[in-house]
Amino acid sequence: MTSADSHRILQHPDWHDACILPPPTVRDWLLHDGSLTRKLQQHCTRLDVTIAHEGWTSDDHWLREVWLSGDGIPWIYAQTRIPRATLSHAAAPLQNSGNRPIGLWLYAQQPTRLNLRWRYDSTSDSYARQTVLALNGYPLDIREHFLPGFPYPAD
């Protein structure tokens, strides 16, 4: 699976609201309301972040695209879009995260969840989720593609 495949899945217009429950085998992961980073760390000895892309978009958002790997196996392709105002007023440290996962810092700030949606991609037999959070009233968008073969371990 390439970053272009994951990008296609994450940009697809059809998403389900969280009130429509996903299948039980994936539900705890797709509807998890805390840090996905922390949840992933509970199921591996080493969580690695590999940056696929980082920089400003033409619509004035800081875009960060990363692969999250558990014990060397790619599990998640994540895309974070942060408007310039959010970065300036509430999330400046995220621009300098490097190969560190952003979830630990982000959830330590106690963000407000504005939206949570999920989707199933039949072409790749995989799931994705989108979370819109607010830090001190400033929004940011996080989309995570659970790569085919992700084990969805039980807690």
Structure tokens at 151: 């084990």
Structural domain including 118 reads: 3-146
Q: Would residue 151 count as lying in a domain?
A: no
Is residue 55 predicted with pLDDT exceeding 90? yes
| CATH number of the domain to which 39 belongs | 3.40.1410.10
Q: Would residue 72 count as lying in a domain?
A: yes
Euclidean distance between CA atoms 85 and 87, whole angstroms: 5
Is residue 22 predicted with pLDDT exceeding 80? yes
Structure tokens at 121: 């991609």
Euclidean distance between CA atoms 146 and 114, whole angstroms: 21
pLDDT tens sequence across 91-124? 988 888 889 999 989 999 999 999 999 999 999 9
Q: Would residue 152 count as lying in a domain?
A: no
Q: Would residue 91 count as lying in a domain?
A: yes
Share of the chain above pLDDT 70, in %: 100
Structure tokens at 39: 């949840």
Q: Of all residues in the chain, what percent are helix, strand and coil, respectively (each to 5)?
A: 25, 40, 35
Structure tokens at 140: 């940011």
Q: Which residues contact 95 (CB under 8 A, 6 or more apart)?
A: 62, 82, 87
Is residue 153 predicted with pLDDT exceeding 80? yes
